[in-house]
Amino acid sequence: MPENKYNSLRLGFFIFMAFVLLVAAILILGSKRNMFKPTINISTVFRNVRGLKVGNNVRFTGIEVGTIVNISIISDTAVSVEMSMDRKVIPYIKKNSVATIGSDGLMGNKIVIILPGTPGTDAVEPGDILSSIKPVELDDIIADIQNTSSKISQVANNLIEITNKINHGDGLFGAVFTDSDFSEDIEKSGRNIAELTKNLVKITGKLNDGKGIMGKVLFDPEFSAQWETTTENLTEISTNLQTLSESVNRGEGVLGKMITDTAMADNFFNASQDLETVLQNLSELSIKLNNERNALHKFISDTAFADSLEVLLGRVNQGVVEVSAAAEILQNSKLLGGSGKKDKKKRE
């Protein structure tokens, strides 16, 4: 009987300890999965969850703030991940926060990492969907490392090949390190450069002394003043030209009317046509004047005709004088009632 009682006590103790362990496990798991805390559910969408499972943690700024409660396929390129978040951290998770997938350690379980949003933005609300970015995977990192290592190996091989060529005296660097003639040429080039720098020192000295045009430009105040005056004059000329062009564009003045006034342009066109007609007539007249059969040609170029015309005009003038005298005598004669004595006196 005492042994049975001992066994009963031992059994009761084991049952009690099992119950305590069960309660502790429920409390621990519940605390991790926010079963005993007020929560809200938000979600995000990934193209590939890469091994993410229901129950995995959600972290925000390195702190576990929730768990994954559901993963569902929306389409062949989209997977929805629903998260249960602790309500205490909701004010710090903004609507423009971004979700990505990370690892719990180097080889640990996959978790969702929420990156902070912009300060001052509204906090998330139940049912909101956060935007996501493609996670950086270890496989991608290893592939990049392999690609980089292959490139480094290729670069090393190229460097080995280059150094071998240099050791054999190939190329420019090989000539620099192994060819004595090339070294002498480089030495000559160095001396030439030294001479060039010496000349440049002399030139800069002359410039500092204000010699030459460049020296005056840089250091002569009178030349600078003249140059400034010239610049001001050029500026004034450009301003005047601008004003003139604006007035011409507005059609002011003769030049503006010639450019913009269509009626004046038509008048100029008609005048040019009239001028062309006059020039054509003058050309025809000059042709006729050059014709020897034309009477005007005789007046212009025939000297014999001019002499005859001069004699004829002299005779005509003499005849006119005589006719005038005869008319005067006739007018004063007795036949017309004139005085003979007066006529005689007049004749005398």
Structural domain span for residue 27:
1-32
| Amino acid 294: pLDDT | 63
| Amino acid 309: pLDDT | 65
| Amino acid 79: pLDDT | 92
Q: Is residue 289 part of a domain?
A: no
Same domain, 82 and 172: no
Domain count, the chain: 4
Of all helices (H) and strands (E), which one includes residue 45?
Answer: strand 39-46
What are the two backbone dihedrals, phi and then psi, of residue 35, each rounded to the nearest 5 degrees?
A: -75, -20
The residue among 89, 81, 87 whose CA lies nearest residue 50 is 81
| Amino acid 342: pLDDT | 47
Domain boundary among 111, 137, 163: 137
DSSP 134: -
Separation CA 327–CA 85 (nearest Å): 149
**Which portions of the chain are predicted below pLDDT 70?**
1-7, 25-38, 106-107, 136-139, 166, 169-183, 206-207, 209-220, 223, 251-269, 288-307, 309, 330-348
Please report, rounded to a whole number, the percentage of residues in the chain having pLDDT higher than 70. Answer: 64
> How open is the CA angle 146-151-154, to the nearest 5 degrees?
125
**DSSP for 76-131, written as a single string:** TTEEEEEEEEEGGGGGGSBTT-EEEEEESSSSS-EEEEEEP--TTSPBP-TT-EEE
Residue 220 DSSP SS3: coil
pLDDT tens by residue, 211-246: 666 666 666 677 677 777 888 888 888 888 888 777
pLDDT tens by residue, 84-114: 988 888 889 999 999 999 888 766 788 999 9
Same domain, 3 and 62: no
DSSP 38: -
Same domain, 133 and 64: yes
Same domain, 45 and 126: yes
Q: Is residue 240 part of a domain?
A: no
